[in-house]
Structure 1
């Protein structure tokens, strides 16, 4: 992805970001199509993933600052993903709202 043309926050900066992201998203949808997924279901999945990422970001804006999880020594053990429980909890809480 290209860097912003102007590093200052201008009123059209979001449009430049959309233009930079657009070809990557189209490529994801194309690849999903080639592997048997429909365009609409892929876009729906992208929207759901984005909702979950927003929830995770709201909970922990910089997960890189979190304390590392102790290494078990097992190369196949990728550790526990701490945001998963928060995502599920937030999803359930949101569904229970009137």
Structure 2
């Protein structure tokens, strides 16, 4: 299976997926740490996290999949939401909570 199909399966078979640098317990960049902090603040503990630092093919593949150049990337209900900045904006406005809870 190619990386694009693997990613497609991950984002469509899990409610929330975060592609990040590191793990939720040990984020390896400030943006990934911010993304995890936002999800935890919203009470989200059960999500699939994928460490792109462990797999160079995944790291490039997720950028190609969303046509988005940066990590982290958040997917909810199979749809690309955005990175850390977009998550922060959506968190502040309440949009992210609504999206997670729908």
- TM-score of the two chains, using structure 2 as the length reference: 0.26
Structure showing the higher strand proportion among its residues: 2
Q: TM-score, normalised by structure 1?
A: 0.27
